[in-house]
Amino acid sequence: MKILVQKFGGTSVKDDESRAAAEKHIVQAVKDGYKVIVVVSAIGRLGDPYATDSLLSLIDGDETQLDLREKDLLLSVGETISATVFTNQLKKNGLPAAALTGQDAGIITNDDFSNAKVLRVETEPIFEFFKKVDVVVVTGFQGVTETGHITTIGRGGSDTTAALLGKAFKAERIDIFTDVSGMMTADPRLVEQAKFLEVVSYQEVSNMAHEGAKVIHPRAVELAMQATIPLRIRSTYLPVTDLGTLVTHSELQVGHYRLVTGIAHVSNLVQFTIETTKQSPETIFSLLANAGISVDFINIFPHQVVFTLVKHEAELAKIIFSENNIAISTLEDCAKVAVVGAGITGVPGVTAKIVTSLAAEDIAILQSADSYTTIWILVSGENLQNAVCTLHDVFL
């Protein structure tokens, strides 16, 4: 049995026209002899009635009085509506299909509600449905505990669901459909000259996703890499012959020897600087960890620590530090820019090019860090577009 996994995001199932565009890809896969596992997100985005953020607004968002288990009951509804509406359309058009919740599909999680971890995928239920239908439409983002409680698996969960099912069913490929044609060398909204990438490695696309490229969740890439299943990032609205960006192992990648793959960015960050003459770094980071705050871009010096937080977590951190009489200095509206590429490893002069090109534009580097495949810099938000465009011009 040949199995293909296709995931359609919220904008790909938002209305009849979008679902019709998605359906043509499913029909083609069936014609090609595949049994197809379709994973769907909630319909649309904030403002659309069944989008996840719209559902959150019904319970006062972060101010809700519901506990996490009850909150998951509501948030799982969006994907359930999406799966059933889409399945109804497929059936009307003569395609044998069935709609399944995460529970129906055998996705078993722990009880860490709102951010549950998938313990296993039981394959028997979907295989049973494949005896009767060619397509199963599975709700993304959700699963069920051993004791039968509905859970959600965190933002980006539909991508993760698709990768988990692809791994469990040894799928030939996982297709992630979105409203763009594939991976680009930068955000085309900032860089007019951004280029389409035909092939990228798992590691490169994971790094791009971690650093702000929103076409795929990095956890999904990591799962596909573990299972050595090729991924394709494709547009719902392009012809079925357009295969988008292939994500595979770097040694199979035609463009493996390019120096830089892309420039990614994350905006709306707050930089914290805290002197450690009175408070140890252990105390500072323990307070944040105990509050469930994830720290990024950390530089630790003999007498101070510097790090960034996303805007909403920064506000909570300020309260925590104030309550503990810890003096802080903050710089609002910062942005992290990442130069990503497998070809960076072991090549001298990359950092020199970054520093020189930004200095020529009078763009101050507030922080920096690097790994084998990524170099990060922090700049002020007002310099974000200029920094991304400058680095794209230099490297790409």
Q: Is 7 annotated as a binding residue?
A: yes
Does the annotation flag 214 for ligand binding? yes
Give 27's DSSP letter: H
Q: What is the β-pairing status of strands 296-300 and 173-178?
A: unpaired
Consult the annotation and say whether 177 binds a ligand: no
79 marked as part of a ligand binding site: yes
**Whole-number Cα distances in Å, 2 to 29, 36, 170, 320, 383:** 10, 9, 9, 53, 49
If you count them, how many residues does the chain have?
Answer: 396
What SS3 class is residue 323?
helix
Specify whether the CB–CB gap between 273 and 216 falls below 8 A.
no
Residue 365 burial by Cβ neighbours in a 10 Å radius (0-12, 13-18, 19+): middle
Helices vs. strands in the chain: H and E counts, helices first: 11, 18
336 is in an annotated binding site: no
Q: Is 189 annotated as a binding residue?
A: yes
Q: Rounded to whole angstroms, how far apart are CA atoms 150 and 116? A: 10
Task: For residue 137, say whether it is annotated as part of any ligand binding site.
Answer: no
Give residue 47's region: left, alpha or beta (phi > 0; psi -120 to 50).
left
Binding site for ATP, residues? 7-10, 178-179, 189, 214-215
Binding residues for substrate: 52, 79
Binding residue positions: 7-10, 52, 79, 178-179, 189, 214-215
